[in-house]
Amino acid sequence: MFKSFIITIKISYNQEFSGGLLPVFKKQLLNYIWFYFMCQIWLFIGQNSEMSLTTSQLLTYSLLSTVFRPQMDIITPATSSMWEGSIIGRYTRPMPIFSSFIAETIGKIWIPTFFTLSFPLIVLASIAGINPLPDSFYTGIMGMISLLLSVSLGFAMDFIFAALAMHLKDKCWAALQIRESLLNLLTGAVIPLNVMPLPVGNFLRLLPFASLASVPINIYMGIIKPANALLMQVVWNVLFWTIASIVYKKSEEEMISFGG
């Protein structure tokens, strides 16, 4: 199965780069522009108001949320496959269906994004004086562990959404756009929960969405202690993967019953 997983990643990667590097790079231009404007916003706010995070921390936070966006905002081919009914063909592949979606996501999104956005942006940001390094070696390791748990939780949430998407019919695309917008806010990927009004930030920290972006970034930067945060991520993973397995299987049965 591992060999099939790697082969699927390579095939997906080659398909994405079949037209060369430039078309893939063009897809990331908006992310570069977005990061630049976020930096300008934080620089302006930092000079004119007091917040719980320093300007330097806000810049690092935005850098990390941009660099790791594909891992903190998981979108797999599962939704389109369930909605279109093309998922049937995936059962002929010599690997579990979830593994197939994960491998495609790594090959089509993660690897191209690393070469065209993540790595270049870290280099450019470092030259500009934005520190991409963790608060300490310990927080760096804990932050990476937290990121792995975030990725796992993100896949579970995406599979749950995909299982429900087939019931939306022609409203699926609109629902996907709403989902992305809400997640960017609820996860703290755009605006750190630390700088939101205290009641709002505290409430959002209680939700599972905070485990996708806010928690791994805050642990990496040494802003919060990792023990309780990692424990909550584990709890959310167990809960959401259980739900994903049940809901996805049910949706598959309904899809097959109605002929795809």
Q: Are 189 and 69 spatial neighbours (Cβ–Cβ below 8 Å)?
A: yes
Q: What is the pLDDT of residues 75-99, one digit of tens each?
A: 998 877 776 667 777 777 778 888 8
Please name the residues in contact with 79: beta carbons below 8 A apart, sequence gap of 6 or more.
Answer: 158, 161, 162, 165, 172, 176
**Predicted confidence band of residue 217 (pLDDT cuts 50, 70, 90):** very high
Q: Record the pTM.
A: 0.91
Residues 153-164 have a mean pLDDT of 90
**Predicted confidence band of residue 253 (pLDDT cuts 50, 70, 90):** low
Q: How many structural domains is the chain composed of?
A: 1
Distance set, CA 61 to CA 36, 42, 101, 163, 260 (Å): 13, 10, 29, 32, 43
Please name the residues in contact with 185: beta carbons below 8 A apart, sequence gap of 6 or more.
Answer: 191
**Residue 203 scores a pLDDT above 80:** yes
**Residue 183 scores a pLDDT above 90:** no
Residue type present at position 33: I
| Boundaries of domain holding 39 | 2-257
